[in-house]
Amino acid sequence: MEISTGNVSTGADKCKGTASLLAANLISDAFFRKASTPGGYALSEYNSVTYVEIGIIAAPASGGAPGEDDFQVWKTTISNLADMLISITVKKTSVNFYIMFVIDPACRIAGGEEALREALSLGQKKLEAAGMIADMIDIDPENGTYRVVSGRKIGNRKVRSALEKTLSASGLSADEQLDRAQNTVNESRQKIRSLEASPESRTRGPSLLIFLIVANVLIFAAGSFMKLRTGTDPLVNFGIQDNAKIFAGEWWRLITSMFLHADIMHLVSNMLFLFMLGRTLNRYYTNLQLWLIYFFGGIAGNLLGLAFSDALSLGASGAIMGLGGALLYRMTLGKNAKEFRRTGNFSWLATSVIFNLAYGLFNPGIDNYGHFGGFFGGFIVALLIGITQNSRSSAAADTDT
């Protein structure tokens, strides 16, 4: 997470401090990422992008009041920046641009204020003429104020919050602002790193994802082959969840039913969902933790079905929903949940989990007990893992002190 700003000219220290702190707040609070332009930061959400460009307009190099030459430089540079932003190609349906100029107070004297307004207004008109959704923003680092050239309110709440937070520190010196900017980014980095499982623990033991996909495909292939030969699938007969037989002592069906599927579409849809959830969570859990979440979720779903349903059932969806429960836990109650939500595009995946739960309520033939039992089983295991990790972190902190 690198902090940089696009300088219109060599800026005064206070302007640099404000620009750096603004970039740091965008990175740490709103999780913007460095973009292709010199002072650009972008945030992709769903099917839209918010793009912030931060620049500095510094005091005249002569040290005196700005003159016509300076006014022309401002116009040319702002116009060139607008052209550069217009040329950016972003494959999204909607892109909102915010072009923020941190302006040295010395630029505003002797006609400079009027020249700045004119240059920024021309830049705003150029962007709008190109069909862009854009706002140029004039920032006064000394007074802690800003002005939106178009007269509109900054529509993006995250951008507005980062800017207002930055300007609330306008009373700090340039060095203090730079230190705060670096500390802000370092803290954000540390929080994100703390979310991930160590690479060693992720590679220790058999990979859950590879094992499960291979095992489910091979079992389905073997059952299908035997069904072609004999007309029945002995693996299904042996392993399907049949409550009467489970109560008669065939307890293994609570586990084996998780590896059986009714048909090829059932298998493919489950393995695709398993792949998406497993690949996402693999970064944040050890192999052992993922195994516990998956199997406890599957068994919890089967136990719920055993208690409240007499229907025969099979499939990995209950266990897969356990992974969905773990994802929803990390997004809502997990440690640094806000940071976790911004480390990946999890919203669509969480929506898919919720949709699958809701879809089953309106469609007969779907094992809702398995789905909901698996989901809450995975959620609970993830919660217990989180509590254990937090306890260990607290104990380690106490030992260090």
Contact of 88 with 37, CB cutoff 8 Å: yes
Distances, alpha carbon 170 to alpha carbons 41, 102, 145, 175, in Å = 22, 12, 9, 12
d(CA 56, CA 332): 38
Residue 382: closest CA among 319, 323, 339, 338: 323
Taken as a whole, the chain contains a residue count of 401
For residue 343, how far is the Cα from the chain centroid? 4
317 is catalytic: yes
**From the candidates 20, 188, 257, 317, which is the catalytic residue?**
317
Residue 146: closest CA among 118, 123, 165: 165
**From the candidates 20, 28, 170, 371, which is the catalytic residue?**
371
266 is catalytic: no
- Name every residue whose Cβ is closer than 8 Å to that of residue 223 and which is 6 or more positions away in sequence: 233, 234, 235, 236, 260
Residue 181: closest CA among 160, 205, 165, 198: 165
Distances, alpha carbon 209 to alpha carbons 319, 369, 391, in Å = 12, 24, 28
Residues with catalytic annotation? 317, 371
